[in-house]
Amino acid sequence: MLDAEAFANPQGVERTIRTALAMLRPPPDLAPSEWAEANVRIPAGNAIPGPYRVANAPFQREPMDMMINPDCYRVTLMWGAQTGKTTCALCVQGYAIAMRPRSQMMMQPAQGDAQTWLETKFNPLVDSSPAIRKRIAKPRGRDGVNNQRMKSYPGGFLMMAWAGSPKTMRGRSAPLIVCDEVDGYLRTKEGHPVGLLWQRAATFGDERFMVEISTPTIKGASYVESSYDDGDQRRFHVACPHCNEHQALKWEQVTWVGRISSCVGDALEDLKHDEHKPETAAYVCVACGSAWNDGQRIAAIRNAESIGAGWKSRKPFRGHASYHLWEAYSTMRKLGDIVRDYIAKLRTDDLQTFVNVSLSETFEEQGDKADSSELEKRAEEFPATVPMGGVYLTAGVDMQTDRLEVEVVAWGVGEESWSVDYRVLWGDPLAGEVWEELDALLAETYLHESGSPLRIAAACLDTGGTSGYTQCAYEYLRGRTGRRLFGVKGIGGWGRPIVEKVMRKQSGKNARKVDLFGVGVDEAKLIVMRRLANMTPGPGYCHVPASRENLAEWCQQITAEKLVLRYVKGQPVREWRKPDKARNEALDCRVYALAALKIMQPPLKRLLEKILTHPRVSGTRPPPAPRLNAPEPPPPTEMPAEAKKTPADQTPRIHRSPAARRARSNWVNGWKR
Ligand SMILES: [Zn+2]
């Protein structure tokens, strides 16, 4: 040891030596969950901001700590809403930055998802947690890279990748891989993106560690479910406060006044009456039948590990730990709120979202086999152009090289629908005249059974196809901002929302940009098909007018595509197929009309109440004769005065574009002529 006394400045030298020695000391040997408690701060704006506390979500401890289990190379989290799967992943990533530095990759379904994750999850966490912040290179600094693609730190880097772009994966690999929302990944020609990343990391040998996270999607085609099944299938067990029986929580054991169904399979039974009382929700012990209130359920979750319950696997562990967790495990959720959400989803014909997002289970398809002759058979006479239940009109426009096809759909409560008009406008979109016809059509009014004239409140125009046509669709849209006429572009892939974040497209040099919405066509078609197969009028049901010209042809077109399951390298892939020469424009039109509804999100129930309490004309009285210099027609009855708030649940998020906002605020009297 150096003798400090031999120097002129012994205190300074001693201090220097002490600091130098501290740098040599290895960091304390903390497990990821312990390190997270000591170092991670959940940013403000989250449910429980402040220092990370594993006691608030004890089920996160084990999967996090698997990272330092030398026998484990893969962790799968098939977790539902409100379970903190993102927090779990962030703690693992933070640990790999601060404690055991190594390079890592973070994969998201699309570039937008990667950006959102950086801006709303990763960056805020870094900003609020000094242990991570001090290691990450400063933006524009000299000591490393810090941009939208990459964050570097001593000992490694974190690289962003997205499944939609093989380019972001090419030539890159890292020993730690986190794949978020894997059920939203599109398979590429080379294979599934997760498999590709994993293969590429092979050079790291036993150092490789991968975390896959997702809510599941459709039975038979869900990547995360097959991954969960491949692993050792763990469920979190809790002890009954009355009889001490250890059990995993199940939806079947949730009870409330009004429940008729016994499981998801017979959920539609719960639509049979209106007297649900979600506030009476309780959990029933599978062994002794006693009911647990929220406090008892949450205490059972918090205590589980200390009394020897907690995660239990169904299969032997062979290096791949897989975890299932659903919303009832959240210590921040009341059971009554989950039930309330279930009933709301059921009534709006959106059971799949509840099953996927809350229960974290795959949804089993029953009704995707819509049949054209069945559909034709139940066509009905409409009592008016727009029957009473249809209170909001949207249009979907499909563009072909020699024509436009347009469907006008009336929507009611629970998205019950009436096809009120279908027209083919002949003419080459490049020539221009057909667009004037479209203007005229979109400006028409439709007579509602109450006597009120209804206008088309919003429309979506397909801009896909060849580039010349896409350009002229942009041109048309550019002159019509403020009219709730939205350009859409179909995007394939499962697990996507029906309407995605808006993209801005330049249409020609110096021209104003056009707002374009991505439409998740695979999921949208599934909803349309399921509804067409629904035989019971009510939520989701599609009414077909017997008076439609070429009814048989229309029914064939709208049901033209079938979902098929095929296997690519042993992995199931679901896709829509249509017979070679079959036409499907009617289906596309319906998908775009649905997209327009999803963009606007009108309060359908309130609109119905309004139309029922203020019928414009009673019965069959003829409308007054037109006068010269007649005043502007009254504003349509269907427009809400204010934007409806999206419930803060799992409804796909829609980022309203500036154009959509402009349209809302500039609304005067419907379509300008
Ligand atoms: Zn019990």
Question: Options 3.40.50.720, 3.40.462.10, 3.40.50.300, 3.40.710.10; which CATH number does 32-233+314-333 get?
Answer: 3.40.50.300
| Single-letter residue type at 513 | K
| Single-letter residue type at 285 | C
pLDDT for the residue 172: 81
Ligand 1 centroid, distance to 246 Cα (angstroms): 8
Ligand 1 centroid, distance to 240 Cα (angstroms): 5
In angstroms, the CA 628 to CA 607 distance is 32
CA 326, 328, 331, 336: dihedral to nearest 10 degrees? 140
pLDDT for the residue 319: 96
pLDDT for the residue 571: 62
Ligand 1 centroid, distance to 56 Cα (angstroms): 23
Ligand 1 centroid, distance to 77 Cα (angstroms): 28
Residue 340: both structure tokens together: 């309330």
Q: Could you state, in order of their start, the residue ranges of all structural domains in the chain?
A: 32-233+314-333, 246-308+335-364, 372-617+635-663
Ligand 1 centroid, distance to 24 Cα (angstroms): 54
Ligand 1 centroid, distance to 319 Cα (angstroms): 33
Write down the CATH number for the domain with range 372-617+635-663: 3.30.420.240
Question: What are the beta bridge partners of residue 543?
Answer: 418
pLDDT for the residue 673: 36
- Contact in structure between 334 and 294 (CB atoms under 8 Å): yes
Residue 491's Cβ-side half-sphere holds a number of Cα atoms within 13 Å equal to: 23
Q: Is the pTM of this model over 0.75?
A: no
Question: What are the beta bridge partners of residue 177?
Answer: 105, 210
Q: Residue 423: which residues within 8 A CB-CB, separation 6 or more?
A: 405, 406, 441
pLDDT for the residue 401: 87
Ligand 1 centroid, distance to 386 Cα (angstroms): 54
Residue 392 backbone dihedrals phi, psi, to 5 degrees: -145, 125
Ligand 1 centroid, distance to 291 Cα (angstroms): 8
Q: Which of 307, 274, 365, 338 is nearest to 565 (CA)?
A: 365
Looking at residue 146, the DSSP 8-state letter turns out to be B
Ligand 1 centroid, distance to 238 Cα (angstroms): 11
Angle at the Cα of 616 from the Cα atoms of 612 and 622, rounded to 5 degrees: 130
Strand arrangement, sheet containing 277-284: 254-257, 277-284, 291-292
Q: What are the start-end ranges of the H helices in 451-572?
A: 467-478, 521-533, 551-558
Q: Residue 510: which residues within 8 A CB-CB, separation 6 or more?
A: none
CB-count burial class (<10 Å; 0-12, 13-18, 19+) for 200: middle
Ligand 1 centroid, distance to 309 Cα (angstroms): 14
Angle at the Cα of 108 from the Cα atoms of 464 and 158, rounded to 5 degrees: 135
pLDDT for the residue 23: 63
Ligand 1 centroid, distance to 278 Cα (angstroms): 22
Question: What are the beta bridge partners of residue 418?
Answer: 410, 543
Q: Residue 199: which residues within 8 A CB-CB, separation 6 or more?
A: none
3-state secondary structure 490-502: EECCCCCCCEEEE
Ligand 1 centroid, distance to 245 Cα (angstroms): 6
Strand runs labelled E in 551-593 = 562-568, 571-577
Q: Residue 477: which residues within 8 A CB-CB, separation 6 or more?
A: 461, 463, 485, 486, 487, 507, 514
Ligand 1 centroid, distance to 104 Cα (angstroms): 44
Residues in the chain, pLDDT under 70:
1-4, 19, 22-28, 365-369, 465-467, 481, 505-512, 565-572, 615-673
Q: Which of 591, 570, 452, 602 is nearest to 520 (CA)?
A: 591
Q: Which of 465, 461, 457 is nearest to 477 (CA)?
A: 461
